[in-house]
Amino acid sequence: MEKVEVLVDRAKHLVLHEPPETSSHTVDKFHPSLDDHIQKIYKSVDAYAPTTNYFLQEMQHDTTLATSSEPVADVLASLDAFRAYMKGANSSAMALEEALDLSAPISDYFISSSHNTYLTGNQLYGDAASSAYTSVLLRGCRSVEIDVWDGESDTPNSSDSERDSDSSSSDSEMEEKTEGGESRQEKPGKQQKESLSSRLEAKLGGVLRRKSVKSPQRPSDEETATSHMPVPAEPRVLHGHTLTKGTTFREICHAIRDSAFVASDLPLIISLEVHASLEQQQTMVDIMLEAWKGLLVDAPPDDGKLPSLADLKRKILIKSKCIPFNAEENPEGEALTPQNSDDKSPGQQPPKPSKILDALAKLAVYTRAYHFSHFDQPEAKVPLHVFSLSEKAAREAHVSHRDALFEHNRTSMMRIYPYAFRVTSSNLDPTFYWRRGAQLVALNWQNLDKGMMLNHGMFVGTHGWRLKPSGYRSGRGSSTDVIERRNLTLSIEIYAAQDLSLPSGDHSERGFKPYVNCQLHVEEPEGDVTADQDDASSDTEKSSYRRCTKSSSGRNPDFKGQKLEFPTVTGIIEELSFLRIKIKDDEIGRDPLAAWACIRLDRLREGYRLIHLHQCAGEKSGGVLLVNIVKQVT
């Protein structure tokens, strides 16, 4: 319990994908400008609605009343009763996520996924840190990536900075951080007081026993000789051929162990990108078996089929390269085809063909990674395979083999990762790839942009796994084989907001002129070859799906019931469509973001609602937007 409390304290400033039972929102009190609208709404509703049930069912479209065994409070009994209702969780514009069906095979789910998880900044010189794994796992991520390279042998006389980065404890990095996140320099003499055995234990993961130093002693001849011996190298995690500072694979594994199942007990997929030698691959295997003992899936399936989600609770799945069907036998390891060229960062030279250790490949039980060439290659027939495609390669596959791509993703796993030239860690638009059925759409979690907002809208309250819509799953000859496309008409009346956060870097609301920007993220017609190709790092959107209010002023603005309307939008799938709301500051030039929310359309509730907002950095702001939503889906 103490470890859980420590982890929660580490992530107190992070956006957590909360489980359904805790994702409700409440408001303590209303600002006078917003309360004026509450009073007007109450008078209107009280005069129109004959009963409370009529208001809740016909005006609020609350479908839970029919199945609820609890008595319904009379929310129209008085103005105070209506205020209490609007302050409570039942007024939220986002419905709770339905209970997740765990019986389907794992290919039938979308999975919240991270790309280059170890990076804390951009792709060229952002540092690698184990804390990045703690961060994303506590935020609901269920697939992380580790890039592993050969580490160099070290000696006890190595620099402090190298020693710090080689620490094998996932907690050590957090303990050596100041409140501002900067590494704290160790005091002179601290390294000298550290015993040789403790330093070696940090390198070898506990192979040597720790010996306590009771008093300063003169080192023996054996100790003097040993102090000059190099410490065997351990694999390191970093972004290859860049200026990123690495950390140890052992430290990453320990960080994952400590936080893998704090926010969710659903399985965690670890995508390994292995650039290490066969010798250090064996070290990787040893470290994983030790750090994740009892958590790994270690038995291959008898029937060769993917298991259900329920079968894999609290399990770690390794995704690693496996031996291609056309590879020659090699007792030590197998040569693999190099990665696609668009998987390389600018200036990064294509690596020599790597080899995969058999012991490492065997850890990939249900997620066996093979190089993708085409959908008819032999590996595509293996039920347990995973293909990894860059966003560019996936778009090309959609253009040239649209049906094959979709059919593959109904029954088999696919991971999509950002184009390598996104050096600022910007993100792709995940909705395009979800609509192609890809289970794992990996994003740069260190950068909050449109892509991450949409990812939040998809997975908030789901524990990181979301059942695919009808027609996207592996079932045949049943209702799961039918894709249901509908028509949408949407109207949002914007009344007022309260407790808005300011744009990043602003400290005074003087001159703050907020306005509301609403964007619909829906699928474009199939005939549009350029559909969904906007960069998720930019905030551009087709004007036909964007509406804005006029600006108001201050952190508690009155928008006076401005109405934003979206006429009939055809061919939508609610589970794969989103409403993204942004509060922006009306300035000359680029309007900075102040707050945002993103709601999946199947969870968008009608009626008089409060939209709960997040700050521009991602954390909950406490701010709300009072609206009236009319949604017709036919």
Q: Could you report the per-residue pLDDT of 57-93, keeping only the tens digit for each?
A: 999 999 876 666 677 789 999 999 999 999 999 999 9
Average pLDDT value for residue range 125-138: 89
Q: Between the CA of residue 455 and those of 98, 153, 301, 430, 445, what are the distances in Å?
A: 18, 40, 31, 7, 10
Any domain includes 262: yes
Number of alpha carbons in the 13 Å side-chain half-sphere of residue 158: 20
Any domain includes 173: no
Looking at the fold, whether 112 and 84 belong to one and the same domain comes out as no
Domain boundary among 403, 433, 467: 467
Any domain includes 15: no
The answer on pLDDT for 97 being more than 60 is yes
CATH number reported for the structural domain that contains residue 251 in this entry: 3.20.20.190
Looking at the fold, whether 393 and 533 belong to one and the same domain comes out as no
Q: Number of structural domains, the chain?
A: 2
Domain boundary among 467, 501, 526: 467
Looking at the fold, whether 341 and 311 belong to one and the same domain comes out as yes
State the average pLDDT for the chain. 82
| Residue 29: Cβ within 10 Å count | 11
Q: Tell me the pLDDT tens digit for each residue of 201-229.
A: 443 344 333 333 344 455 555 555 555 56
Residue 495 token pair: 């009344």
pLDDT given for residue 152 in this prediction: 84
The answer on pLDDT for 594 being more than 60 is yes
Looking at the fold, whether 340 and 405 belong to one and the same domain comes out as yes
Any domain includes 215: no
pLDDT given for residue 220 in this prediction: 58
Any domain includes 247: yes
Any domain includes 165: no
Looking at the fold, whether 501 and 607 belong to one and the same domain comes out as yes
Residue 38 has φ and ψ, to the nearest 5°, of -60, -45
Looking at the fold, whether 488 and 424 belong to one and the same domain comes out as no
Q: 3-class DSSP state for residue 341?
A: helix
Any domain includes 184: no
CATH number reported for the structural domain that contains residue 611 in this entry: 2.60.40.150
Average pLDDT value for residue range 601-609: 98
Looking at the fold, whether 373 and 499 belong to one and the same domain comes out as no
Q: Tell me the pLDDT tens digit for each residue of 517-528.
A: 999 999 976 644
Work out the pLDDT band at 341, boundaries 50, 70, 90.
very low
Any domain includes 312: yes
Domain boundary among 467, 499, 526: 467
Looking at the fold, whether 381 and 438 belong to one and the same domain comes out as yes
Q: Tell me the pLDDT tens digit for each residue of 396-429.
A: 999 999 999 999 999 999 999 998 778 788 899 9
| Least confident range of 115-124, 203-212, 445-454, 482-491 | 203-212
Could you write out the DSSP letters of every residue in 381-445? G-TTEEEEEEHHHHHHHHHHSHHHHHHHHHHSEEEEE--TT-TT-----HHHHHTTT-SEEEE-T
Residue 376 token pair: 């008819």
Looking at the fold, whether 335 and 378 belong to one and the same domain comes out as yes
Looking at the fold, whether 259 and 355 belong to one and the same domain comes out as yes
Domain that holds residue 380: 106-150+235-467
CB 336 within 8 A of CB 353: yes
Work out the pLDDT band at 585, boundaries 50, 70, 90.
very high
Looking at the fold, whether 571 and 617 belong to one and the same domain comes out as yes
| Residue 272: Cβ within 10 Å count | 23
Average pLDDT value for residue range 344-348: 49
Looking at the fold, whether 70 and 132 belong to one and the same domain comes out as no
pLDDT given for residue 209 in this prediction: 38
